[in-house]
Amino acid sequence: MSAINTSLSSTQSTSNNQWVLASNNKGKLSEFKRLFAEANLDVTIIPQGQLDIEDAVEDGLSFVENAIIKARHASRISGLPAIADDSGLCVPVLGNAPGIYSARYAGEHGNDSKNNSKLITDLQSMRSEQPIKGMFVCVLAMVRHADDSLPIIAQGLWQGEILEAPQGESGFGYDPLFWLPDLQATAASLSASDKNRISHRGQAIQQLLAQLPL
C-alpha cells in the first residue's frame, strides 16, 4: 500500500481514494501528516485549506459534536469523504476547562502563549502538594458524505499533570505545560515520533483505522 500524500493541489482530480482533512491548524496538520503516512491506507488526504475551505463554525457543546460539524462542513463543500479532529485539554479541577474552548481559552484563537498563561493563572490558587491532573482529548469523526447518518467516531485520551511553568520547545498548544510522570518530560520535550506513538491524537488515529472497512 502506498503512503498517504498530503500535498495534493486543489486542481487535481478527486476520487473515492481522496479524503478531506477538516483542519487549518498547522500544528495538527503536521502531526496528521506523519500519523497518516505511517498508516496502511491507500488514500490521499487533502488538507481543507488546499481546497479553499474555511473553518466551520464550531457551535457544538462537546468534542464529538464539533468534530462531526467540521467533518460535515468539509465534506459538503468538497463533495468528498472528510475526517475532522476536535481536541483540547481538560483539567478536572477546572470543571474540565478549557475543554472545547482550548484554542481560544484566553479569548484570542490560537494564541498558545496567552492560553498557557491563563491556565497557569487559573490554577495558581488550586496548587498544593498534590499534582494537578489533566488530560488531552482527541475526537476524530469521519463522514463518507455530508449527510452520513453513521459517522465513524474515535477518541483518544492522554493522561498527565499540569505544570506551573512551561518546559520544552517542541509541540504546540498546551504541550509545554503537560507533564508525563512516567517519562519525566513534557509533551513539548518529546520527539515527534515519540509523541505520535502515545498521544491522544495518535490513539484516536489507531482507533479510527481499526474501524475502517478496508
Please report the beta strands in 48-150, taking only residues with DSSP state E, as ranges in sequence order.
82-91, 97-98, 133-143
How confident is the model at residue 1, as a pLDDT? 28
How confident is the model at residue 22, as a pLDDT? 93
In the chain, what are the domain boundaries? 18-211
Please indicate whether residue 86 is annotated as part of the active site. Answer: yes
Catalytic residue among 42, 59, 86, 148: 86
- The answer to whether 116 touches 166, Cβ cutoff 8 Å, is yes
- In percent, the amount of the chain with pLDDT more than 90 equals 71
Rg (CA), the chain: 17
What three-state secondary structure class fits 152?
A: strand
Put simply, whether the predicted model's pTM sits higher than 0.75 gets the answer: yes
CA distance linking residue 143 with residue 209, whole number of Å: 13
**Residues 144-199 pLDDT 10s:** 999 999 999 999 999 999 999 999 998 899 999 999 999 999 999 999 889 988 99
CA distance linking residue 53 with residue 44, whole number of Å: 17
Residues of the chain with pLDDT under 70: 1-16, 40, 214
CATH of 18-211 among 3.90.950.10, 3.40.50.2000, 3.20.20.70, 2.60.40.1170: 3.90.950.10
